[in-house]
Structure 1
């Protein structure tokens, strides 16, 4: 005589324990499979981080630093990075056609900004209309510094009321970033940054975030660039107010 199907109470002491009895229960679907241990994933991530760190150990060194490593690295490997640095520097020099702050006139705004943005990133600073705005004064100086260093980005400046009639003084300074005919970023005053403590490094980070400057650009302060890349790798799931000298992106 067949026995009717009836639920059976299976004794389970610890469903996560590695026992022969639990293996039988898992095989028959009585208890679920154990979740994989995170230890293996952590070890794998650490191994990958070590591998990437070794492979990229020369990634952010300039030509002088590469020359100092001639006795430590293989010639072919070192030459590969030398050529890469030369190519990067050549591309930067070829694209560096601005290298100054351009003072805009309203009749030429479309040509000098909107149309020009099809060739490069255009960063427009609309300053205080009254000339008494502390944040505007800070950005005017930062614009001068960055325009000289990043000649492939066009830094422009204009009084807000001459650009937009009746533009509220409380909204100055305003930063507009153009690319391919569109505004890609708008910053109204420095409240999104660090107010009157904003420095060149804060604007550099902004330009990196929107893609106007590459994250590994050699013109960025070394410590700042390396820190940002490490943080970017972590955020991406990979384990791999001050003076201008104070350029760490804290």
Structure 2
């Protein structure tokens, strides 16, 4: 009969289907596993230490301690690098037409880019630029860009301003063109955040569209100000 612990392709198939029990660990594998668990537990103790405490205890480290500290250091470096890559923006970048390809269509993999085309002297454009500054700080993993419209697209009509284009990996995913889309000068930063979240560009913590809250309040105040039929009948009497 074939050894059920043998490393064969047939045995692997039988184990996956539950016909054979899991392969028994060799003594050597058990020792390696125990050593790994010990190292991980030692690393956990160092995670609770400050840098000063580590330096104070460094003279007492044995080989196992040094390996654990090195493992911990590598983990922290990897975490820091991941954070740096993810949070590499945080400010609004101003570009011209010649920067468009490099900064937008070739921006990079897994990257959202939000571009605002604006022009000086248009109040709503100035308001959106102001909101962009706050949103760029709040969502540093998203690339927020602004550009004077005609420097990117020659003869771009002012009636289309403000315009916002949303890209992912260089492909356009959404566009908001003209003042009516934004609801005029009453546009809040939260409303703009909600609009962008609906495109997938940002992950908002807002639970519902702030514009809906305002509209509900307006409708409620209108209903309160309109006299009911009962009130009208009592006035007639």
Task: Note the C-alpha offset of 1:152.
Answer: 0.5
Counterpart CA distance in 2 for 1:139 and 1:117 is: 25
- The one of 137, 141, 146 aligned to 2:130: 141
Q: Which has the higher contact order (CA 8 A, sep 6+)?
A: 1
Going from structure 1 to structure 2, the CA distance change for 1:194 and 1:91 (only over 3 Å counts) comes to farther
Shift of 1:195: 1.4
**In 1, Cα distance between equivalents of 2:166 and 2:189:** 16
- Tell me, in whole angstroms, the C-alpha distance in 1 between the residues paired with 2:106 and 2:212: 32
Aligned length: 135
User: 1:105: Cα distance to partner?
Assistant: 2.2
Question: Of 166, 189, 192, which residue of structure 1 is paired with 2:155?
Answer: 166
Gaps of 5+ in 1: 1-89, 232-246
Which residue of structure 1 lines up, in the alignment, with residue 200 of structure 2?
211
Deviation at 1:190, TM superposition (A): 3.2
Q: CA deviation at 1:94?
A: 5.0
Is residue 166–residue 201 contact of structure 2 (8 Å, CA) maintained in 1? no
Matches within 5 A, 1:1-250: 94-116=85-107, 118-128=109-119, 131-215=120-204, 220=205, 225=206, 227-228=207-208, 250=213
Name the SS for the 2:197 alignment partner: helix
Deviation at 1:186, TM superposition (A): 0.8
Instruction: List alignment gaps of at least 5 residues for structure 2.
Output: 1-80, 214-237
CA contact (8 A) 2:96 2:148 kept: no
Query: Distance between the aligned counterparts of 2:106 and 2:84, measured in 1?
Result: 22
Tell whether the 8 Å contact from 2:164 to 2:176 is kept in structure 1 after alignment.
Answer: yes
Task: Flag as ranges the 4+ runs of structure 1 deviating above 2 A.
Answer: 90-94, 247-250
